[in-house]
Amino acid sequence: MCTGVLDVHEIFCSYGNTPILKGVNFSIPKGNFLGIIGPNGSGKSTILKTISRVLTPASGKVILLDQDINSITRVEMSRRLAVVPQETRIDFDFTVEEIVLMGRLPHLGKFKKESQRDFDLAREAMELTGTLHLAHRKITELSGGEKQRVIIARALTQEPEVILLDEPTSHLDINYQTEVLDLMKKLSRENQLTVVMVLHDLNMAAQYCDYLVLLSRGKVFAQGSPQEVMTAPNIKAVYNSDVIITNHPVNNRPMLIHLSKTDNSSSKKTDNISIHVVGGGGASSLLLQELVTFGYKVTCGVLNVGDSDWEKARALGIEIVAAPPFSAISETCYQKNLEFMKEADVVILASIPFGSGNLKNLEAVLEINSKNNSRSLIVLEEDDISKRDYTGGKASDIYHKLIKAKPSVVHSIKEVTTILGEMTL
């Protein structure tokens, strides 16, 4: 059943005896901006070549506007779909205007010359792509970035309903990258142009695309909105890269930050040390980020869903003991938090403000510490407990009992990482 303007059904494709695409499926509604992402060799460009009939799949089919592409004539295909490849080699001294006007060929009959409308469409496309001032220049005299914008103008002159672009910004300066992506976004919204773009830059993909397809080794690993696809576990699984996913300060879309593999994490084998952080209320966000950056195995809890620490832990791909928003910690969450602590090599109590809802977090730390004094406990005291106690003194009483057991009390995140760095577990 076809659900979009472009439907890809169970595509298998090979180069010789080497399988490239292995059962790829996705559908694109009209006027959507779809981004195809994935590591090199995952099959991104092969999908575009299959959709545009450059390659014939071993099995599966592509449906364009409710028709199998194999049943559509080449001319009709060119009226409906335009392609902007990674590189276009043109060795003849055509002018930019002549190149852009070639986009009108599918709409012209045999021996028919261009009309004024054809010239107007070409001019409009050149204006949109910032190439109008190049109209009378030879294509062979242009830079790689200028040529790429001319090819995009030619594609727009076709008046397609679907446009395929294979890493169109790879040769462009940053200002032209954003201009091209802004243009594609505008055309998809205002003109209902369906855009399918292979992108190498994950942040660009997250900021501009309505829908993402993440490929891994020729298969769809994940697809959905940028929020659904751009998660730390997905990026780790597909790219083998540790990242933080945070929110863009302007549009709130996912924004990816790569974590460097520091000398500290590689030389001290920090991934062998498991840490459970007791946080909440924003008290542990920076600590969680630092621990993940150093390569530690981190869990966290109990955090209320929607809490800023919960958001940070989720963005970092940390396993969380989570409670519903604005609710007190249940016995089930309390016990699960204890289990996480039992499995950890180190428990860190962040400088949390305590109220009646999260007092059980402090009780859990006291319980686990009294049962097993061999477990390393670090108390991060960035502010006096009396200033963080909203329980009428109950939290202070439990806290002072905990301190009598002589845990490692520190006053900064740097002190935490120093202690951890000295451990050999």
Q: Which residues does residue 19 pair with via DSSP β-bridges, in sequence order?
A: 14
Asked whether residue 184 is domain-assigned, the answer is yes
Q: Do 295 and 343 share a domain, yes or no?
A: yes
Picking from 229, 251, 273, the residue at the C-terminal end of a domain is 251
Q: Do 323 and 417 share a domain, yes or no?
A: yes
Amino acid sitting at position 126: M
Q: Which residues does residue 219 pair with via DSSP β-bridges, in sequence order?
A: 216
Q: Residue 308, Cα to own-chain centre: how many angstroms?
A: 20
Residue pointed to by tokens 């595509």: 11
Look at residues 291, 200, 206, 204 and name the one whose alpha carbon lies nearest to residue 252: 206
Q: Do 228 and 99 share a domain, yes or no?
A: yes
For residue 425, what pLDDT is reported? 46
Indicate whether 169 pLDDT > 60: yes
Q: Do 198 and 302 share a domain, yes or no?
A: no
Q: Do 281 and 247 share a domain, yes or no?
A: no
Q: Do 178 and 268 share a domain, yes or no?
A: no
Residue pointed to by tokens 């099995």: 59
For 190-210, what is the mean pLDDT? 94
Asked whether residue 230 is domain-assigned, the answer is yes
Residue pointed to by tokens 């090819």: 151
For 206-222, what is the mean pLDDT? 95
Q: Do 342 and 199 share a domain, yes or no?
A: no
Q: Which residues does residue 194 pair with via DSSP β-bridges, in sequence order?
A: 162
For 73-87, what is the mean pLDDT? 90
For residue 264, what pLDDT is reported? 43
Asked whether residue 388 is domain-assigned, the answer is yes
For residue 267, what pLDDT is reported? 43
For 279-300, what is the mean pLDDT? 89
Contact 188, 33 (CB under 8 A): yes
- How many other β-carbons are positioned within 10 Å of the β-carbon of residue 276? 28
Q: Do 137 and 157 share a domain, yes or no?
A: yes
For residue 263, what pLDDT is reported? 43
Asked whether residue 60 is domain-assigned, the answer is no
Asked whether residue 22 is domain-assigned, the answer is no
Q: Do 226 and 292 share a domain, yes or no?
A: no
Asked whether residue 9 is domain-assigned, the answer is no
What is the residue-averaged pLDDT of the chain?
Answer: 89
Contact 146, 180 (CB under 8 A): no
Picking from 230, 251, 272, the residue at the C-terminal end of a domain is 251
CATH of the domain at 281: 3.40.50.720
**What b/e string do you get for 32-70 counting C-beta neighbours within 10 Å, with b at 16 or more?**
bbbbbbbbeebbbbbbbbbbbbebebeebebbbbeeebe
Q: Do 289 and 379 share a domain, yes or no?
A: yes
Boundaries of domain holding 351:
263-422
15 or 7, which is more confident:
7
Distance (Å, whole) CA 209 – CA 226: 7
Asked whether residue 181 is domain-assigned, the answer is yes
Q: Do 36 and 184 share a domain, yes or no?
A: yes
pLDDT in tens, 41-64: 899 999 999 999 999 999 999 999
Indicate whether 395 pLDDT > 50: yes
Q: Do 229 and 327 share a domain, yes or no?
A: no
pLDDT in tens, 234-244: 999 999 888 88
Q: What is the 8-class DSSP label of residue 389?
A: B
Q: Is 353 helix (H, G, I), strand (E, B) or coil?
A: coil
Distance (Å, whole) CA 148 – CA 84: 8
321: part of which helix (H) or strand (E)?
strand 319-323
Asked whether residue 68 is domain-assigned, the answer is no
Q: Is 147 helix (H, G, I), strand (E, B) or coil?
A: helix
Q: How many domains does the chain have?
A: 2
Q: Tokens in use for 306?
A: 């929607």
Picking from 200, 222, 251, the residue at the C-terminal end of a domain is 251
Indicate whether 374 pLDDT > 80: no
pTM of the model: 0.68
Paired sense of beta strands 346-349 and 376-380, if any = parallel
CATH of the domain at 99: 3.40.50.300
For residue 311, what pLDDT is reported? 86
